Amino acid sequence: MTESLMPVPAKMPRAPRHTLPPGACDTHTHVFGPFDRFPVPATGSYAPPIAPPDVHRDMMACAGFDRAIAIQPAPYGTDNSALAAALKERPEALRGVAVLTAEATDADFEGLHEAGVRGLRFSEMRDPRSGGRYKGSIGVDEYLKLAPRMKDHGWVPHVWAKAADLADFLPEALAPGLPFVIDHLAGIDTAAGVGDPGFQAVLHHLAEGNIWVKLSLCRNTPFGEAFDAQRPFHDAMIETNPDRLLWGSDWPFVRMYDQSPDVGDLIDTFDAWVRDDDLRTRIFVANPATLYGFGT
C-alpha cells in the first residue's frame, strides 16, 4: 500500500437530536479491516477508513442504531472475508451485501448466506479519475448471470448508478423478478429537477413496488454544500411509496476524508424533512426488517 492510500480515521458521529426508534437500521455502512487480518489491496482506488467491527459498533451506538447493513466496499473486490467476519460477530444486529461474479461457487453462496449476507452489490458509477468503474466493483451485466442463484437464496440485488442509467437498464434487470435496492437516492441530478426523465422513471418503478430506494444524501451534493437541493427528490419518493424506502448514512464516507458529514446531522436532516413518527418508524425500522429478515 502506497503512502497516499494509507488508512485514515473514520469520522465518529454525535447523537441525533431525537432518539431513533427501537430496531432502527442504517442500511448503508461499510466495514474495513482489521487490517492485520484483512489488508486492503494496494490497487485500491482510495485510502481506506479505519472502520473495523469494533469502530463500526461504536458508530452505531453513538448514532442510536440497533441494526445495520454492511456493504462490501469496492477495494476488497470479491474477497468478502472481512465482511463475513464482521457479520458473524453480531448476527442479531448485522446483515451484509457482498460482491461476487458469476464464477462464484454454490459453496460461496452458502457460506456467505450462513454468515448473514442477504444481497449482492453492483455498480454503474464511474471513477472520475479513470472513467471506468471503481476498482473491485461489478457491473449490472453480471447480475443477470447471478440472478437465479440469488433468487434461490432470497438475496436482493443492490445497485449504485445515476438516475438516467437506471432508467435504461432497470426494465431488463427487473425481468428475473427480484426487486432492486437503489443506492444513494437513485443518483439524482439536482440540476435537472424532479421532472428529469431518469428520475421520473425511477419514481415509476418505485410506485410499482419493483424497487427499494435508500434515502442517503451524501453522494449527490458537491462537498461542502447543503443538502437542500435534494429535498424535492426526497419528498417525491416519500409521497410515491414510503413502504419501499430505506435510510442509509454511507458511513464511513469513503473518499470524502475531512469533508465527511456527521451521521447525526444526516439523521437530523431526515427528521427536519419528515415530521411523521409513523413514517420515521417505517423507514428506519419496519422496511429494513422486512427486506433483510431481521428477527427471522
Per-residue pLDDT tens for 37-55? Answer: 999 986 666 889 999 999 9
pLDDT per residue as tens digits for the range 96-152:
999 999 999 999 999 999 999 999 999 998 766 666 777 778 999 999 999 999 999
* Structural domains of the chain ordered from first start: 3-10+22-290 (3.20.20.140)
Q: Give the up-direction half-sphere exposure of residue 201: CA atoms within 13 A in the CB hemisphere.
A: 17
Residue 156 C-alpha cell reads as 436482493
pLDDT-derived band of residue 296, with 50, 70 and 90 as boundaries? low
CA–CA gap between residue 55 and residue 115 (Å, rounded):
20
Nearest 10 degrees: CA dihedral of 73, 76, 78, 84? -70
Range 206-231 average pLDDT: 90
Residue 26 contacts by C-beta under 8 Å, 6 or more apart in sequence? 60, 63, 65, 67, 68, 69, 247, 248, 249, 251, 263
